[in-house]
């Protein structure tokens, strides 16, 4: 299978390219230098020349707080760029995977969101990603929209790496304990995507590691597993705090747990529990 991956230098994109190559697929990884998705004609040329069977669209404007002031940039990449990728994939009859986010919901729920629950994004990032979803649905006849959350991996900066570093450098750490979600290891998400693209089970999917926690509980688990797996002597004391303690330009979802209804109804194996993914990530770091 020929697969083109946008955003290949990112956390998920990097792991996707490695996994696809390992499985024997012909892969073209594109970052901004190889293909500027905001340029429709250039995107058409690159996609058309490689002629992939599948395009996995990971590229995105993910600077959540910056997006609140750089509104045009966020929409240019997340909406217009996604439109350009969708048009280019559709022209050659390729399947399209659009990686989306839990931020398309309002984050005010009390029970896990289903794939077809009403969306109501509260931030510019969430609104621009939802715009990308709508354009993909409008322009592609063979699409998978895959919403994920709290992503971390070996390549790039993320919460796990930051907490590990600060845990060894600072005596005291406050971590938000009133936001709930599902941490997602990029390798586990990449494995699911590899299985998904080999089917015609199109639609919207929620794909995160199973289970949920708060950021504080996630930090606790990181410290516990890192001491065991990495042998680190973490001296920082963790203390839970409220979202209001650390105000940000962009509102964070208080509740972004997503039920994997479409994974289960389509016969896919659900992603494993987030703590198992965390352990494997730390072993990979080691």
Give catalytic residue positions.
Answer: 125
| Strand duo 213-214 + 180-181: pairing | antiparallel
Q: Are 15 and 56 in contact (CB under 8 A)?
A: no
Q: 10 Å Cβ neighbour count for 244?
A: 8
- Name the residue with tokens 């797996």: 229
Interatomic CA distance for residues 82 and 14, integer angstroms: 19
| Token pair listed for 255 | 């509740």
Listed as own residue / partner, the contacts of 225-229 with beta carbons closer than 8 Å and 24 or more positions apart are 225/275, 225/278, 225/279, 225/282, 226/164, 226/167, 226/282, 229/279, 229/282, 229/283, 229/286
Phi first, then psi, for residue 176 (nearest 5°) are -60, 130
Count other C-beta atoms under 10 Å from residue 34's C-beta.
14
DSSP label of 217: H
How far from 165 is each of 113, 124, 159, 219, 233, CA to CA, in Å?
Answer: 33, 30, 10, 12, 11
CA 161 centroid distance within chain: 16
Residue of 137, 150, 127 whose CA lies nearest to 61: 127
């Amino acid at each position: 299978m020929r697969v083109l991956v946008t955003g290949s230098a990112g956390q998920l994109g990097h792991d996707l390219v490695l996994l696809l190559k390992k499985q024997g697929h012909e892969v073209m990884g594109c970052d901004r230098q190889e293909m500027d998705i905001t340029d429709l004609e250039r995107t058409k040329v690159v996609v058309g020349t490689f002629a992939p069977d599948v395009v996995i669209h990971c590229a995105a404007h993910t600077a959540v707080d910056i997006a609140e002031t750089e509104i045009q940039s966020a929409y240019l990449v997340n909406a217009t760029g996604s439109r350009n990728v969708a048009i280019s994939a559709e022209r050659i009859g390729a399947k399209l995977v659009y990686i989306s986010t839990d931020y398309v919901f309002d984050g005010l729920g009390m029970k896990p969101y289903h794939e077809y629950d009403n969306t109501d994004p509260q931030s510019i990032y969430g609104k621009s990603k939802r715009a990308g979803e709508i354009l993909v649905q409008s322009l592609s006849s063979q699409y998978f929209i895959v919403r994920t959350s709290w992503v971390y991996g070996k390549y790039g900066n993320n919460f796990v790496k930051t907490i590990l570093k600060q845990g060894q450098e600072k005596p005291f750490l406050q971590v938000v304990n009133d936001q709930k979600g599902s941490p997602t290891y990029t390798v586990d998400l990449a494995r699911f995507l590899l299985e998904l693209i080999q089917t015609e089970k199109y639609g919207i999917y929620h794909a995160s590691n199973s289970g949920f926690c708060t950021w504080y509980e996630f930090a606790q688990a990181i410290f516990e597993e890192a001491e065991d797996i990495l042998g680190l002597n973490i001296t920082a004391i963790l203390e839970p705090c409220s979202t209001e303690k650390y105000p940000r330009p962009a509102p964070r979802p208080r509740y972004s747990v997503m039920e994997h209804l479409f994974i289960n109804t389509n016969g896919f194996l659900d992603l494993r529990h987030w703590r198992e993914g965390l352990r494997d990530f730390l072993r990979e770091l080691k």
